[in-house]
Amino acid sequence: MISDGSFRLDGKLALVTGASRGIGYFLAKELAGRGAHVIAVARTVGGLEELDDEITAAGGTATLVPLDLTDMSAIDRLGGSIHERWGKLDVLVANAGVLGTISPIGHVEAKVFDKLMNINVSSVWRLIRTTDPLLKLSDAGRAILLSSGAAHSARAYWGPYAASKAAVEALGRSWADETRQTRLRVNSVNPGATRTAMRAQAVPGEDPETLPTPAEVAAKIVLLADPALDATGKIYDVRADKLLSYNNPS
């Protein structure tokens, strides 16, 4: 067990990307429900407002940041604003992502590939770059990067998405190694197939009722925000409920 789940996050600040729907929406609710002030990032204002209403109704607080993560300088500015207003960040959840197209590698359009890499990889690096100093100012900085089983499964037609998630994990592992001696803990997550819009796009014929809900999955992922968590540089497999180590040959 990675955490008994009894922790609180009162007085803490959490940044969640892709908070307008799906797994990110429910992660934002989980974090706010434990007392964190949530900075909720996505493009869809309606989804962010719905989240804000739910968080407020439950007694929590949020700041909404409508932002397109392909706008790299906007990510830099967000880091600057967090520094000015709060002086630190306690939890980063890099959750926003896109699927691209599921098709043979040679059929993928260049603009689709570039956009996928921009959102799934470059924006995550840019977030890491801007939040790393802020997370180190926290007494228990936690970074949670959303990966996928696709990063390891090498399935036909999933090439670009799989490559993007393998890149996210590689970034996370290097970052974890660099920060091992600090209070920052960095881990990736494989949520497993989850009942969201992305999954419906990926596997349209599937009965969504057979899949765990994003609320169920988020209730597990949030355990990586526990201030008592010691693990870093690992991947949390939600379905198996296991924190897995990578083989590090050196």
Task: Return the active site residues.
Answer: 161
Residues 6+ apart with CB under 8 A from 2: 223, 224, 226, 229, 231, 236, 243
* Interface pattern 49-68 for ligand NDP (x via CB under 6 A): -------------------x
Q: How far apart are CA 160 and CA 215, in angstroms?
A: 27
Bridge partners of residue 92, in order along the sequence: 15, 143
Q: How far apart are CA 161 and CA 183, in angstroms?
A: 31
CB of 68 to ligand NDP, least distance (A): 5
Contacts with ligand NDP in 199-228 (CB under 6 A)?
A: 199, 214
Residues 6+ apart with CB under 8 A from 126: 72, 75, 76
Site size for ligand NDP (CB under 6 A):
29
Q: Which of 13, 69, 92, 128 binds ligand NDP (CB under 6 A)?
A: 69
Contact 41, 67 (CB under 8 A): yes
Q: How far apart are CA 187 and CA 20, in angstroms?
A: 22
38: contact with ligand NDP by CB under 6 A: no
* Interface pattern 97-126 for ligand NDP (x via CB under 6 A): xx--------------------x-------
CA atoms within 13 A on the CB side of 198: 20
Q: How far apart are CA 141 and CA 123, in angstroms?
A: 20
* Interface pattern 142-181 for ligand NDP (x via CB under 6 A): ----x-x---------------------------------
42: contact with ligand NDP by CB under 6 A: yes
Q: Which of 37-45, 52-60, 84-92, 176-184 is the region at the interface with ligand NDP (rule: CB under 6 A)? A: 37-45
Which two structure tokens, joined as six digits, stand for 47? 């989804």
Phi/psi for 87 (5° steps) reads 75, 5
CB of 161 to ligand NDP, least distance (A): 7
Q: How far apart are CA 167 and CA 162, in angstroms?
A: 9
Q: Which of 33, 47, 100, 227 binds ligand NDP (CB under 6 A)?
A: 47
Quick one: CA torsion of 164, 157, 20, 238, rounded to 10 degrees? -80
Residue closer to ligand NDP by CB (options 63, 182) is 63
83: contact with ligand NDP by CB under 6 A: no
Q: Which of 9, 13, 23, 28 binds ligand NDP (CB under 6 A)?
A: 23
Residue closer to ligand NDP by CB (options 108, 140) is 108
In the complex, which residues of this chain contact ligand NDP (CB under 6 A)? 18-24, 42-44, 47, 68-70, 95-98, 119, 146, 148, 191, 193-194, 196-199, 214
